[in-house]
Amino acid sequence: MKQRFVSAGSAWDIEIAHRDGALIADVNGGEHAVEILSERPGTLTLRVDGATLVCDWAADRSGGWICHDGRVWRFDKPHPTASRRREATGTGEGALRSPMPALVVAIDATEGQDVEGGAMLLVLEAMKMETRVTAPAGSWTVKRLLVAAGQQVIRDQELLELAPRDTGVDAEGGEDDGQVL
């Protein structure tokens, strides 16, 4: 998950990833080992490169704030299309993947269900913030659910598979009568 933190006119691009069972924070190209020691409402205790940091935090709908040692950083939630779709070779089918380590808190889709772009498929929760995973633009059929409510997922884990739905409309926008001209 990539975030942008801004404080006193300076910006830092931070990407958090799992590698060999550990959290790695890439801050403007420099990697740092991160361990979450404790997470309570409003307080987060981390070990970053061996140093312990206690941070205050708060969140709202658009992002949140982290405060440490008198400095405050603002961060924005990832773009609403946080659910990424990877194309399978040549088929147009794809899998939606988790943008972050999270808990699956709700699933609003069923296998075989037809959905349109923007339809909510499931909800993930990480650090008390919910992320809605929606269908990409177009008409789709939910091919397979790969997770269950209450399941913990890792970043980039496949959540569900989608297949393009035949809408009965040809490329020019007219009805597809099945005839070849």
pTM for the whole thing? 0.45
Whether 33 maps to a domain, the answer reads: yes
The predicted structure's pLDDT at residue 7: 62
Helix (H) or strand (E) holding 49: none
Same domain, 8 and 63: yes
| The pairing of beta strand 2-7 with beta strand 10-19 | antiparallel
Domain with 128 in it: 84-164
Q: Is residue 172 assigned to a domain?
A: no
71 belongs to a structural domain: yes
Q: How far is 114 from 138, CA to CA, in rounded Å?
A: 11
Residue-level pLDDT, tens digit, the chain, 181 residues: 566 766 666 777 777 777 776 778 888 778 888 888 888 888 888 888 888 989 888 877 667 788 888 877 777 665 544 434 433 333 346 788 888 888 999 999 999 999 998 899 999 998 888 888 988 888 999 999 999 999 998 888 889 999 998 765 544 455 445 444 3
Structural domains counted in the chain: 2
- Together in a domain, 55 and 104: no
Determine, yes or no, domain membership for 121: yes
Do residues 54 and 6 share a domain? yes
Q: What is the pLDDT of residue 9?
A: 65
Which region holds residue 28: left if phi is over 0, alpha if psi is between -120 and 50, else beta?
left
Q: Say yes or no: 158 and 114 in one domain.
A: yes
CA-CA distance, 102 to 123, in Å (whole number)? 10
Query: Which residue, 76, 98, 120, sits at the end of a domain?
Result: 76
Domain containing 26 — which CATH number? 3.30.700.30
